[in-house]
Structure 1
Amino acid sequence: MIKPRQKAPELAIKLVNDTTWKLSDQSPENFTMILFYRGKHCPVCKSQLEELQKKLDKFIQRGVSVIAISTDTAEVAKATHDEWDISDIPLGYGLSIEEARAWGLFISEGINNEPKHFTEPGLFLLTPEQTVYWESIQSMPFGRPGFNDVLGGIDYILKADYPARGEA
């Protein structure tokens, strides 16, 4: 597990637009938000990412760059990008289970038509220096933070110059 105020693990991830996204290359005004999602098989993820698409401008207005990442293969991730209403969200794929564990994500074994192994959800806000500011990690597909709550939190953080918490 990574504690707040610690440097996040380096991350280089392929995107569905055939480019590579690197955490160390990010230079947001305020935060980078990484949303780890379960994959195309997850209807809750579809709802979450489509909600994010609708609110993406609100994150951008607050100086937050956004990426969504799964362990899905390139083929599955590209189908996700085409079939879900998420055209403006950078969509990364191919996260390894080892990388996911380095981020403290929970890993599930697939049942029914799920992949053999995949991550459970996680949301990270990172500072421009790539240190962890806020993390929310779930062991189930349910109970994820709502984006209105995240946006409200970011507003408070920026207004009050509120420090990262949970580091002790």
Structure 2
Amino acid sequence: MIKPRDKAPELTIKLVNDTTWKLSEQSPENFTMVLFYRGKHCPVCKSQLEELQKKLDKFTQRGVSVIAISSDTEDVAKATYKDWDISDIPLGYGLPIEEAREWGLFISEGIKEEPKHFTEPGLFLITPEQTVYWESLQSMPFGRPSFNDVLGGIDYILKADYPARGEA
């Protein structure tokens, strides 16, 4: 289990624009927000990512860079990018289940039309030094933090120089 203030696991992921994204190469002003989503099969993920698209400028204004990642295959991820209204969100794919476990993500076995295995949702704020500041993990598709709450939290964190919590 990763705790706040721990070094985040290295993360190297392919993006749908045929580039590679590395956590260790990120240099945000304040945070990198890594959003792990279940995949194209998930209508709640579609709503969440499309909501993120609408609020992306608000994160950027706060010095937060964003990436969304799933364990979907390249073809499925590229279809997701094309079919969902998420044109400005860097979209990563092919997250190995073993790496997802390193992040503490819950893993589900597919039912019906779902992939054989996939990650349940997780949201991480990572500092420019690559330490975990904030994490929210779900074992179900429901009950994810609202982006308004996350933005409000970031505002408070930056104003009050609030330390990462949950490390003890």
- TM-score, with structure 1 as normaliser: 1.00
**Residues 117-141 of structure 1: CA deviation (Å, up to 9, x unaligned):** 0000000000000100000000000
Q: Where does residue 20 of structure 2 map in the other structure?
A: 20
Q: Aligned letter for 2:127?
A: T
**C-alpha distance in 2 between matches for 1:87 and 1:23:** 21
SS in 2 for 1:136: strand
Q: Aligned letter for 1:75?
A: D
Q: Where does residue 94 of structure 2 map in the other structure?
A: 94
Q: Tell me how far 1:92 sits from its aligned partner.
A: 0.0
**Residues 4-30 of structure 1: CA deviation (Å, up to 9, x unaligned):** 000000000000000000000000000
Q: Where does residue 56 of structure 1 map in the other structure?
A: 56
SS in 2 for 1:148: helix
Spell out the pairing of 1:12-91 with structure 2 (5 A cutoff).
12-91=12-91
Q: Tell me how far 1:103 sits from its aligned partner.
A: 0.1
Where does the alignment leave 5 or more consecutive residues of structure 2 unmatched?
A: none
Q: Tell me how far 1:44 sits from its aligned partner.
A: 0.0
Q: Where does residue 116 of structure 2 map in the other structure?
A: 116
**C-alpha distance in 2 between matches for 1:131 and 1:96:** 21
What RMSD, in angstroms, separates the aligned Cα atoms of the two structures? 0.2
Q: Aligned letter for 1:21?
A: W
Q: Tell me how far 1:157 sits from its aligned partner.
A: 0.1
**C-alpha distance in 1 between matches for 2:21 and 2:109:** 27
Where does the alignment leave 5 or more consecutive residues of structure 1 unmatched?
A: none
**C-alpha distance in 1 between matches for 2:11 and 2:123:** 15
SS in 2 for 1:34: strand
**C-alpha distance in 1 between matches for 2:100 and 2:29:** 26
**Residues 77-111 of structure 1: CA deviation (Å, up to 9, x unaligned):** 00000000000000000000000000000000000
